[in-house]
Amino acid sequence: MARAIWKGAISFGLVHIPVSLNTAVRTERVDFDWLDKRSMEPVGYKRVNKVTGKEIDKEHIVKGVEYEKGRYVIISEEEIRNARPEATQTIDIFSFVDASDIPLQHFDTPYYLSPDRRGGKVYALLRETLESTGKVALATVVLHTRQHLALLRPLDEALVMITLRWPEEVRGLETLELDKSVTDAKVDKRELDMAKRLVEDMSGPWTPENYHDAFRQTILDLVEEKAAKGKISVVEKGEGAAVQKGADIVDLTELLKRSLGGGKKAAPEKKPAKRSRKAS
Please list the residues that pair with 67 across neighbouring strands. none
- Cα 174 to Cα 148, 170, 178, 183: the distances in Å are 26, 12, 8, 11
- Residue 33 located in a structural domain: no
**Helix or strand (DSSP H, E) at 162:** strand 158-164
Please list the residues that pair with 142 across neighbouring strands. 147
Q: What pTM, to 2 d.p., does this model score?
A: 0.65
- Residue 237 located in a structural domain: no
Indicate the range of 157-161, 166-170, 240-244 predicted with least confidence. 240-244
52: left (phi over 0), alpha (psi -120 to 50) or beta: alpha
- Residue 145 located in a structural domain: yes
Rounded distance, CA 4 to CA 88, Å? 17
- Residue 10 located in a structural domain: yes
pLDDT-based confidence at residue 62 (cuts at 50, 70, 90): confident
Boundaries of domain holding 166: 6-25+85-170
- Residue 231 located in a structural domain: no
- Residue 236 located in a structural domain: no
Q: Check: CB of residue 65 under 8 Å from CB of residue 279.
A: yes
Helices (H) and strands (E) in the chain, counts: 6, 11
- Residue 137 located in a structural domain: yes
- Residue 149 located in a structural domain: yes
pLDDT tens for residues 203-252? Answer: 999 888 888 878 778 888 888 888 888 877 776 654 444 434 444 444 44
89: left (phi over 0), alpha (psi -120 to 50) or beta: left
Task: Return the CA Rg of the chain.
Answer: 25
For the chain, what is the domain count?
1
SS3 (DSSP) at 125: helix
CATH number at residue 117: 2.40.290.10
